[in-house]
Amino acid sequence: FFSAYAPQLLTARAASMIDVDPDPIIEKLLAVRGSRTPKQVDMTELEINSLVFKTREIFMSQSTLIELEAPVKICGDVHGQYTDLLRLFEHGGFPPESNYLFLGDYVDRGRQSLETICL
> pLDDT at position 36, please?
77
Q: What is the pLDDT of residues 95-107, one digit of tens each?
A: 999 999 999 888 8
> pLDDT at position 3, please?
46
> pLDDT at position 102, please?
92
> pLDDT at position 89, please?
95
Collect the ranges in the chain with pLDDT lower than 50.
1-7
Nearest C-alpha neighbor of 116 from the set 94, 73, 86 = 86
**Per-residue exposure over 32-56, b if at least 16 CB sit within 10 Å of its own CB, e if not:** beeeeebeebeeeeebebbbebbee
pTM assigned to the model: 0.79
Q: Which ranges of 38-99 would DSSP assign to H, the alpha helix?
A: 45-61, 82-92
> pLDDT at position 14, please?
59
Count of Cβ atoms closer than 10 Å to residue 101 Cβ: 10
